Amino acid sequence: MADCPPIVDCDWLHKNLEKVSILDASWYLPAMQRDAIKEFSERRIPGAFFFDIDKVSDTDSPWPHMMPSAPTFAKLSRAWYMFKAMGHAKVSILNGGFPMWESLAHPVDRERKPVDATSSSPAEYTCEVLKGSILDMAQVEANIGSKQFQLIDGRPKPRFVGEAPEPRPIESGHIEGSYSVPFLDVLRPDGTFKDESELKQVFHEAKVDLSQPCAVTCGSGVTACVVRAALEIVGVREAPLYDGAYTEWKTTGKPTYKGLDKSPYAQ
């Protein structure tokens, strides 16, 4: 994988199982009532290890699953954007994930496996957070006036416009000037990414100018990474993540808006 793509398909992975490390970073919102750890222990891609994004996070932050410090990441290791933000370029997403792998009848390991199982040959991993990969709240607030980048929100549209509740005890809405690209809009029903031309149309319909700087966010910094991967597929190589996301923004009392007020759609 000299030129590492943002996504790889299941057939490619099946042919290269012995050449790569596989991390299952499945994660679900509490309302989904699914246990990613239990599911992994029962069924997984052969050789995969579980990667818990809640544990591999900044535990000193009051916000959920914030990006860890470089030392924390080096000790525990995480998923696609976390690796990229820490400077690890050779990392790809399995297009469609485990459901697609299983639907194509590729081998599945059903032997019960503890989620804390480690490699037989662990190694020290040195990393450093790439400058410009993560945005803080001050940078996002400053951007409202300066408009240096387009902030793309990956939450479902009803939460963005304030018609549906947040999964946390805060009022829904959006940050002034942000663009709504729900993460499900960049995916097909089977969970695979849409192709490049389809993704370009999604961003076009959301009034996102792909020739201009972009950044991504969502409710807590997780599903925004799906939109971030879609941006990379269409050629946007740099798009930092506002990791504190809407949860931090709203909880700290920053102004938010409902409907399409103060968004690009009202312009």
Residues 147/175, Cβ–Cβ less than 8 Å: no
Residues 250/159, Cβ–Cβ less than 8 Å: no
Write down the catalytic residue from 10, 214, 218, 225.
Answer: 218
State the DSSP code for 193: B
Give the CA count within 13 Å in the CB-facing half-sphere of 69: 5
**Residues in the chain, overall count:** 267
User: Is position 214 annotated as part of the catalytic site?
Assistant: no
Tokens 């029903």, residue? 189
3-class SS shares of the chain: helix, strand, coil, % to 5? 35, 10, 55
Amino acid in the structure at residue 208? V
Residues forming beta bridges with residue 135, ordered by sequence position: 242
User: Catalytic amino acids?
Assistant: 218
